[in-house]
Chains A and B, each alone.
Chain A
Amino acid sequence: MILEATSPLIAVVFSVLVGSLLMVLVGKSPVQVFGVMFRFCLGRADSFGTILFKATPLIFSGLAVGLALRAGILNIGVEGQYLTGAILAAWVGFGVKGLPGFVHLPLAVAAGMVGGALWSLVPALLKVRRGAHEVISTIMMNYIAQHLVHYLIADVFMDKMQMPIPGLGSARVRTPLIAKTAMIPKVHGLLALLGIALPKHTYANWLLPFGVALAVATYYLVWKTPFGYEVRSVGHNPGAAEASGIRVAETRLKAFVLSGTIAGLVGLSDLLCYFGYMDVDFPKGYGFTGVAVALLGRNSAAGIVAAAFLFAFLDRGAEGIQALASVPMDVIVILQGVMILSIVVAAEVVGRYARNLQRKEAARG
């Protein structure tokens, strides 16, 4: 058990070493750069707010990947699912008018979930009905989503009424602005009660506590409900699950679509708190980072939340070292990749070692 928990630690240490090596290669002192990173992240109130904001989409993304993984499904399609979720939420946000906030906002969030769910339904059905491998099909769905969303933004929803930006010749390719009633409030008031003052230009919002609550809910779902038991059985050993009377196809379908539903929430923190519209440069890559988050968090609810915060911390730190130590912030992307690789290798090696120990003990007993 203790051995199991060591692999994320090994992965983090190893990737920090790789990062240090890179810094030495470009002629910087790693100690100094990491020092800058920690001071930048921990010493400023706006860094704290930004880390909270950056962690939010990653929590949802990690939970979405993690839940599917429990059923033995690798949902690489979170990337496309959050785009379709976001465009649907945006549409409800700017298209529906005259609703009070307490109806409009939940409606927009629900639209996001529906958008994600619908987009995951296609690969889910292809998997259970036709046996199509979900990894290839979700990657294809990601690209289709990208082009579809591009089409919707540029040709269908394009805001033709927008004010031209001074100095910029043409109008932005973006949707109309989302109504105030569908925007998510920030958590600044709540944190002020706790004595933490967040600067105005940070965007930590109520989706964060919602995400943490969702993490608790998925923990409950996976470990304390019959459905969760079925999901875990299917993920662990589909043959045995089938033999014990669990409907494997149905369970996979439900878990896949549930994962897509959560994925639909990934883009909403950016959409409904920061941008207030969707354009062709909407943030990309949360889905892939979600794979890293779920793996690093060893797919436990607490682990996913912790890993999301770690990645948010690194991401913010990267901005700091680029500005203050002139190390390209992409070093953090490299760290992410190294972390995923080293965690799966470490888990495998540690697991093999543990199995060997067990085998030896069994032989002795």
Chain B
Amino acid sequence: MSLVGEFVAEMMASAIRMGIPILLAALGAIFSERSGVINIGLEGMMMFGAFFGALGSYLGGPVLGLALAIAGGTALAFVHAMGSVTFRVNQIVSGVALNILAYGCVRFSSITIFKMATTSPHVAKLASIDVPSLSRIPVLRPLFGGVSPMVPLAVCLALASYWLIQRTVFGLRLRAVGENPLAADTVGVPVPPLRYVGVLLSGALAGLAGAYLSIEHTGMYVEGMTQGKGYIALAATIFGDWSPLRASAVAMLFGFAESLSFRVVEGGTIPYQFIKMIPYAMTLAVLAGVVGRSRPPASSGVPYEREGE
């Protein structure tokens, strides 16, 4: 009995570990899209976060790592904001370009700094948390013992994002700018600054998501470690109907699918490659309206141009 319990607890813990980076990046996607800017560049921002997180931790410990990761993600997001808000270029093209740019920058920096293109040395993790008393129960040990502090942080960020978007004046304005920028502009809500904030927040969160991968999950930077999680986060956003809480739940679901794919390798009835397809196939199903319809912010992806400018 306790064996089954331990297995379930271990599965859940694994799902959480795999889901956290998707959750953080999805929160980022929500801020950006709610303000009216599609952020395909999320993947690249995560790459920056993973690399600069490892670099910071290598140079001065995990806290510096987190700071550098956030800075890196935000810097890349700033380029996206300039392109899509100030210059009003096609936001998808800008995002694709940023992903290519990030891939090149990270490899270039890795060779220059670590003398290796694909990995960094091992770096220090944050001190892990043992939840008092709960972690002493053997069955719950995998869930509450040795937890990365970024797990509770991510939960707090999800709740904070919900509160910020749904319950504050800032959130109302952000949503207004994403739904109907002309109307927002007419009543004096500044459209470009709010969109900048939305995009920059998404970069910061994606950077944090990348840092989780390199600092907390692997303990080093490895090329390609984002594995399309930025895109999966976009999928979680769509599936989660652009709501922070629902998208977080979907991120956990995707995390579960991923942790499942490691375990069926031994089972062998279903090839693990097919399990790996689950998040992508689910997203297609959502896009096709098979599993519930979701509606994006009305002006997401549409550059806003004032009359006569």
Contact = CB atoms under 8 A, between A and B. Distances in A.
B90 A344 contact: yes
Given A155-B271, A338-B101, A344-B83, A328 B107 contact: yes
Interface string B272-303: 01101100110110011100000000000000
Contacts, number: 136
B79 interface: yes
Contacts of B88: 348
B60 interface: no
Given A140-B235, A148-B277, A345-B83, A337 B101 contact: yes
Contact of A330 (B96, B104, B228): B104
A143 B231 contact: yes
Interface in A68-121: 74, 76
A136 B104 contact: no
B111 A126 contact: no
A148 B287 contact: no
A247 interface: no
Given A328-B107, A344-B90, A76 B281 contact: no
A306 interface: no
B105 interface: yes
Given A143-B231, A334-B105, A336-B104, A328 B280 contact: no
Contact of B281 (A144, A330, A335): A144
B277 A144 contact: yes
Interface in B107-126: 107-108, 111-112, 117
Interface residues of A, number: 45
A295 B98 contact: no
A332 B284 contact: no
B67 interface: no
B121 to A, nearest CB: 18
B24 to A, nearest CB: 19
Given A136-B283, A137-B287, A341 B97 contact: yes
A28 B279 CA distance: 45
Contact of B97 (A137, A140, A340, A347): A340
A25 to B, nearest CB: 8
B283 A140 contact: yes
A135 B287 CA distance: 11
Nearest to B305: A352
A151 B112 contact: no
B66 interface: no
Query: What does DSSP make chain A's interface, helix, strand, loop or mixed?
Result: helix
B87 A345 contact: yes
A341 B94 contact: yes
Contacts of A148: 273, 277
A324 interface: no
A292 B100 contact: yes
Interface string A247-291: 000000000000000000000000000000000000000001101
Contact of B274 (A26, A76, A130, A151): A151
B59 to A, nearest CB: 18
Interface string A321-351: 0000000101111111110110011011100
A338 B99 CA distance: 11
A68 B271 CA distance: 34
Nearest to A139: B231
Contacts of B276: 147
A333 B107 CA distance: 9
Given A74-B92, A148-B273, A333-B100, A341 B83 contact: yes
Nearest to B40: A135
Given A288-B100, A331-B104, A334-B104, A140 B284 contact: yes
A330 B117 contact: yes
B107 A330 contact: yes
B42 to A, nearest CB: 11
Contacts of A341: 79, 83, 89, 94, 97-98, 101
Contacts of A337: 97-105
17 contacts: A74-B92, A76-B96, A122-B284, A135-B92, A137-B287, A141-B284, A143-B231, A148-B277, A288-B100, A292-B97, A328-B117, A330-B108, A333-B100, A334-B101, A337-B105, A348-B87, A348-B88
Given A137-B284, A140-B281, 8 more contacts: A74-B90, A132-B289, A136-B287, A140-B235, A151-B271, A155-B271, A340-B100, A345-B89
What 5 A-B pairs have minimum CB-CB distances, sorted nearest first? A337-B101, A333-B104, A132-B287, A340-B97, A334-B104
Interface of B: 40, 79, 83, 87-90, 92-94, 96-105, 107-108, 111-112, 117, 228, 231, 234-235, 238, 271, 273-274, 276-277, 280-281, 283-284, 287-289
